[in-house]
Amino acid sequence: MCNASAWVDDHEDAPSKGQQYDETAEEVEEVEDTAATASDDDEVYEVTDRSEDGAEIVRGKERPELAHHLQNDSSILALVVGDRYIYAGTQDGEIVVWSLASFELVLRIQAHTRAVLCLFLSADGQLLFSSAGDAIVNAWCPVNLKRIYHIYSTYDVGDVFSVAYSQQFQTVYLGAQNTSIQWCSLKDSAARPRPNPESHPDRRNHRFFDSVQHGGTSTPRPLPSRTSVTDGEVLEIDKAHMKHYAHFGYVYCMLLVRGVTRLVESDEDVLISGGGDGTIKIWKLAHGNQDITEVACLGEDDAESVLSMAVDGSFLYSSKLEGVVELWDLDTKQKLRVIKAHRGDVMTLQMGWGFLWSAGSTGFARKYSTVQYGKYQNSSQFNQQYHCVNRWKAHEGRILASAVTTYNGQQLYITGANDNSVSIWNITDRRLETRGRPEIADSQLMKSLQEFVSFKTISSRPDHAEDCRRGATFLRTLFKKHGAQTEMLNTSDGRNPVVYAKFRGNSETSSKRKKILFYGHYDVVPADNKQDKWIVDPFDMKGVNGYLYGRGVSDNKGPIMAALYGVVDLVLAQELESDITFLIEGEEESGSRGFKEAVRQHKDLVGEIDYIILANSYWLDDEVPCLTYGLRGMLHATVEVDSNHPDVHSGVDGSFMMDEPLFDLTSVLAKLKGLHNRIQIPGFYDNILPLTAAESARYDDITEVLIRRNPELGPPETLKASLMARWREPNLTIHRYKVSGPDGSLVSSHASAAISLRLVPNQEVEEVIRSLTTFLSEAFATLDTHNHMSIAIDNQADAWLGDPDNEIFQTLEEAIMDVWGPIGESRRSSVPGPKPKQQLPKMLTPTASPSLKPTPATTKTLTNGSDHTSLASTPLDTSLLDDPALSPITNGSSSPQKRRGRKPLYIREGGSIPSIRFLEKEFGAPAAHLPCGQASDSAHLDNERLRVSNLYKSREIFRKVFKELPRK
């Protein structure tokens, strides 16, 4: 007997190939590959011909949209999908669960000691069955994956390839490697005799591993480490509940259907099995201890394995080796067609939305038109031909499993393969995607963001000026499409324009409500990928493991889209009671050049503003939502030192009498900082605001939460000091040096350095500029040098400090608590990703800092090392999940009741946003900052990302705030 994992990967033990077509039967028609001239390496192709009625048929026009990609540690052998989750069985014996709403990892358990070969979800969604190569069938709660039943046979059945459950008969059926079908009733199972532990498959000798060697001795195997078998009820299958030789080959697949044949009453469940002998059998089921009865056998005993089956009405599709799909009429028991669907083995079939979906060993998936029934039938396009209407490369490996579902109005085709991945394909007909839906689906938000990210709006590079304009035009068009009044506000010197958009509130309420301004930016930093560090094209957003990857997806295009669609939700629900204005600039990453002038020039157009909201930062870690009430200011300057001499050789002309610009520059800059990086400019720290008791309490709250989650961040006083140093203390940094002349032993005639100062509230920028200039000039004068120094101010921004107790912060706080539910009660929301193929040795690092200063807490330490390889993970709250109406994962405008947890963390940040304090002053309105992303989003770095659930929940938060805040 073979191991099933070897069969699914290599087919080494599969029956011999060589499908024989019954060309003499009139009802059989072979349909050749519709892309006969195309190889299986072609991902997109187009073939045009005419059907029997003369209608033109265009096939394979485009690859479906890849909604998301999930990476695992091992091959995906089985898939099933429920109302809210995707379940996958793996080569490692695990069951992995992902959320359909956000594609986050929900749960992963070691379900079996060997490969999981089949998953089956009961019709009522209350039981999830798994079968495996360990000869075990387990039944699980689909919500928390707690084992309910543990079922095994006293026979040596080998691998259990297939499992099905009849809710009508309360019986589970399993198809095994020993060619049998066995069954076990779950009704009154507690009254059964107690199972004999010695009959358990783990206790029995294995024919191969425990075979006796020469001399009659054997080496005992250690018992496998299984999750406690005492979990759930242990059921031993009655010896009489077996159909020996149900097939003359392995029972590879089974279906549980109803009303598909006249041979069984239409209201009774029917079992259909496919075997390695090439036959398909229909079984009549019965209650209790009664035997199953074979009522029909389709096909010939030709050893051509039936690998998968799908039912459409009374039609049955079965897949075989070498790309063959057979079509059977279950009423007449006739084979109607033989379709040459693939060039490789067809491993999995699905019926969905009137189409047949097939996938196989070459990694390609295909969509076939069928004779459609019911609501999918269109008489104007009805014909008896089976056409491949789409074909695409879905995986790099062999596709072994698939599933179909409709979720939130989206039609999803899900595939799993031995490339250790699951792909979710959005195959929704665009004409039907939003039909009959008053709200805008999350898929529309996702598509808008994907297109927005595709524009290379890099403001720092002149060669991307046109891309910036195109990105601004796209954004303006999107605002206008959803009903906003829009304008392009031009800036001075031909800088990127500001996109202005105003959504008018209901006329009867807007004059009574306060007005909100949302500020953001559509420009991004460069995303050079010369070293191939990005896992995706930076400007082609992709979803991977619960995250969206792409430049700008977190900073700041994702939050802009969330805010836009939050307003759109209110507009469609006729709940927008106040004016919401958007000002989205295109130069934020380049110092907001021209933004102030553009706003002042069009201040009358913007009108009165009562509140300002921005969303241009991240949480403190990857777990706890935050609100930001403070930002440091910023001052960028360039210090230059020039000589009257040209570049000279240090050996030929260099001497102590020659003043070297680079040395003078270094001497001056070295005076800026003293011991422990204390800035030496006189009076520099005088105006810093003292720490209040309320602010100190906020820091204590932050450290308590962070250390509770990650004790390694302690002790608390050290972490608190580190955060305060980043947020409420100024700092000075030297960024880079430049010298004239080529590399070599030269005395450069010119040297310059870029420096920046991060300022805190109550440090006025203009005053700091004067103090810095004076200090450097006086320090330079003491050098008694022939060189000349100049100081240029490149960019500046005021620090900002909001009021956490005002209406805008309190409204945001309420919205966060409503949308995110209990805060501070979940496990990690970012978990390690798939294991790399090769683990590199860790570099040795000193255990303690050589300085007396504590090591500062950085974003990397606060996120516990989360990076682009981590998976998004949603907390499993079983008290919520037991009631579908209270699911912790929600989309769109739904607002289910949730248990309320603690408040979000109130934080300050060390970074700077040049425009926020300017907008407060210009409009006389307070501002608040809603961080949308996680600390590990890698903004400005390689593999920038945004968690899918953060995007969706930010949309909900904006909807609530845009509705409630104007009433304050």
What tens digit of pLDDT does each residue of 384-400 get? 567 899 999 999 999 99
Give the pLDDT of residue 25: 31
- From the list 363, 349, 343, the residue with the least C-alpha distance to 419 is 363
Distance CA 295, CA 285 (A): 10
Lowest mean pLDDT among 42-56, 273-287, 513-527, 908-922: 42-56
Lowest mean pLDDT among 187-196, 445-454, 545-554: 187-196
Lowest mean pLDDT among 167-181, 213-227, 538-552, 728-742: 213-227
Which tokens go with 239?
Answer: 């010896």
- Report the percentage of the chain scoring pLDDT > 90: 68
- CA of 564: how far to CAs of 557, 559, 710, 742, 954, in Å? 11, 9, 36, 51, 11
Instruction: Tell me the pairing of strands 611-614 and 516-521.
Output: parallel
pLDDT confidence tier of residue 50, bands split at 50, 70 and 90: very low
Lowest mean pLDDT among 287-291, 504-508, 620-624: 287-291
More confident: 892 or 224: 224
CA atoms in the 13 A half-sphere facing the CB of 593: 13
Give the pLDDT of residue 31: 41
Task: Indicate the average pLDDT of the chain.
Answer: 85
Which tokens go with 52?
Answer: 């029997």
- From the list 273, 353, 303, the residue with the least C-alpha distance to 13 is 303
HEC profile of 713-738: HCCHHHHHHHHHHHHCCCEEEEEEEE
Lowest mean pLDDT among 259-268, 517-526, 579-588, 954-963: 259-268
Give the pLDDT of residue 182: 96
- Other C-beta atoms closer than 10 Å to the C-beta of 777 total 12
Whether residue 556 has a cis bond before it, omega within 30° of 0: yes
Give the pLDDT of residue 233: 92
- Other C-beta atoms closer than 10 Å to the C-beta of 259 total 14
pLDDT for 276-304, tens place per residue?
Answer: 999 999 999 988 668 899 999 999 888 89
Distance CA 900, CA 818 (A): 7
Rounded mean pLDDT, 906-930: 95
Distance CA 105, CA 73 (A): 13
pLDDT for 347-392, tens place per residue?
Answer: 999 999 989 999 999 999 999 988 755 555 544 443 456 789 999 9
Give the pLDDT of residue 855: 75
Q: 634-688+730-797 has which CATH code?
A: 3.30.70.360
> For residue 435, is pLDDT > 90?
no
Residues of the chain with CATH 2.130.10.10: 74-202+227-303, 307-430
Give the pLDDT of residue 15: 35
Rounded mean pLDDT, 590-619: 95
* C-beta separation of 607 from 581 below 8 A: yes
What one-letter code names the amino acid at 789? M
Question: Can you list the alpha helix ranges (DSSP code H) found in 145-188?
Answer: none
Give the pLDDT of residue 39: 40
Which tokens go with 799?
Answer: 């620090």
* C-beta separation of 81 from 401 below 8 A: no
> For residue 61, is pLDDT > 80?
no
Distance CA 457, CA 453 (A): 9
Q: 307-430 has which CATH code?
A: 2.130.10.10
pLDDT confidence tier of residue 824, bands split at 50, 70 and 90: low
More confident: 340 or 890: 340
Angle between helices 948-964 and 557-572 (to 10 degrees): 50
pLDDT for 68-85, tens place per residue?
Answer: 999 999 999 999 999 999
More confident: 652 or 280: 280
Rounded mean pLDDT, 226-247: 82
Distance CA 96, CA 109 (A): 7
Whether residue 526 has a cis bond before it, omega within 30° of 0: no
Angle between helices 765-781 and 661-670 (to 10 degrees): 130
- In three-state secondary structure terms, 532 is coil
Residues of the chain with CATH 3.30.70.360: 634-688+730-797
- CA of 348: how far to CAs of 97, 318, 324, 363, 382, in Å? 20, 9, 11, 11, 26
What one-letter code names the amino acid at 887? S
Give the pLDDT of residue 822: 74
| Tokens 């074979």 -> residue | 294
Lowest mean pLDDT among 103-112, 333-342, 498-507, 533-542: 333-342
pLDDT confidence tier of residue 207, bands split at 50, 70 and 90: low
- Other C-beta atoms closer than 10 Å to the C-beta of 257 total 18
- In three-state secondary structure terms, 72 is coil
More confident: 666 or 43: 666
Residue 390 forms beta bridges with which residues? 367
Q: 74-202+227-303 has which CATH code?
A: 2.130.10.10
The DSSP call for residue 326 is: E
Which tokens go with 582?
Answer: 């958007």
Whether residue 891 has a cis bond before it, omega within 30° of 0: no
> For residue 236, is pLDDT > 80?
yes
- From the list 471, 524, 461, 463, the residue with the least C-alpha distance to 497 is 471
Give the pLDDT of residue 48: 42
pLDDT for 98-110, tens place per residue?
Answer: 999 999 999 999 9
Residues of the chain with CATH 3.40.630.10: 447-631+905-967
* C-beta separation of 248 from 301 below 8 A: yes
Distance CA 308, CA 299 (A): 14
The DSSP call for residue 458 is: B
pLDDT confidence tier of residue 852, bands split at 50, 70 and 90: low
Q: For residue 220, with 0-12 CB atoms within 10 Å meaning exposed, 13-18 middle and 19 or more buried, which class applies?
A: exposed
> For residue 883, is pLDDT > 60?
no
Rounded mean pLDDT, 162-188: 95
> For residue 136, is pLDDT > 50?
yes
Give the pLDDT of residue 128: 98
Rounded mean pLDDT, 89-101: 97
End-to-end CA distance of the chain: 73
> For residue 661, is pLDDT > 60?
yes
Calculate the dihedral angle through the C-alpha atoms of 665, 668, 673, 675, rounding to the nearest 10 degrees.
110
Give the pLDDT of residue 43: 41
What one-letter code names the amino acid at 11? H
Rounded mean pLDDT, 735-755: 92
Which tokens go with 203?
Answer: 């206790």
Burial 102-116, CB ≥16 within 10 A → b, else e: bbbbbbbbebbbbbb
> For residue 200, is pLDDT > 70?
yes
| Tokens 């509940």 -> residue | 241
Q: Please list, in sequence order, all residues whose beta carbon lies within 8 angstroms of the beta carbon of residue 505, skipping any fewer than 6 positions away.
A: 513, 576, 577, 578, 579, 580, 966
Fold exhibited by the domain 447-631+905-967: Aminopeptidase (3.40.630)
Rounded mean pLDDT, 708-730: 91
> For residue 7, is pLDDT > 50?
no
pLDDT for 673-685, tens place per residue?
Answer: 999 999 999 999 9
DSSP string computed for 85-131? EEEEEETTSEEEEEETTT--EEEEEE--SS-EEEEEE-TTSS-EEEE
